[in-house]
Amino acid sequence: MKTETKKTVYGYLIGIASAELVGVLASLLCGAQDAFYAELNQPPLAPPPWVFPVAWAILYAMMGAAAYQIYDSKSEDRCGALSLYAIQLAANFFWTLVFFRFRALGAAVALLVLLNVLLVLTILKFRKVCPSAAWLMVPYLLWTLFALYLSIGVWVLNK
C-alpha cells in the first residue's frame, strides 16, 4: 500500500474513531438510558430504542469522515470549519448528558435548537472547504431535526 493511501486510510480511521468516542463517552456517562427512555411518554413516529445506537454509530462515522476531509484539505478555512465542528460535537455530547443523565427535558430541547443552528453553520463552512464533507453532515442534520421533534414531544408529553 502506498504511503499516501495509508495516510488517508489512517486519517479516516482516526476521524471516525474520534467521533465515535464522543458518542461512547457520552453514553457511558449517562448510565441506564433504556430504562429512563422506556418510562417516557413518546410522540408519534418515535422509533424503538434499538434504532438510536445504530443510527448514531452510522452518523458519527459520517461525521468523522467529513472532519477528516476538512482536516486533509489545503483550504485556509479549514481551521474555522474544524472549530465549528468541535463546538457542535461538544453540544451533541452535552445534549446526551442533559437529556439522559440530568433528565432536564426542556433544557435538552433548547440545546438541540442550538445544536441544529451549529450544524447548519458547520455544513455551510464545510461546503466552502470541501462540498463532499458538507454532504456527509446532512444526514446528521436531518437526524437532529428529527431528534428535536422527538425531544419537544417527550418534553410536552411528560410535563
What pTM was estimated for this model as a whole? 0.94
Mean pLDDT, to the nearest integer, of 91-106? 96
What's the CATH number where 48 sits? 1.20.1260.100
One-character DSSP codes across 124-157: HHHHHH-HHHHHHHHHHHHHHHHHHHHHHHHHHH
Domain, as residue range, for 76: 3-157
Q: 17-56 pLDDT, tens per residue?
A: 999 999 999 999 987 777 888 899 999 999 998 999 999 9
Q: How many domains does the chain have?
A: 1
pLDDT at 144: 98
pLDDT at 5: 84
Class of residue 6 by CB neighbours under 10 A (exposed 0-12, middle 13-18, buried 19+): exposed
Q: pLDDT class for 2, splitting at 50, 70, 90?
A: confident
Mapped onto helix, strand or coil, the DSSP state of residue 76 is coil
CA nearest to 75, candidates 131, 14, 15, 130 = 130
CA nearest to 53, candidates 34, 79, 74, 71 = 34
pLDDT at 82: 98
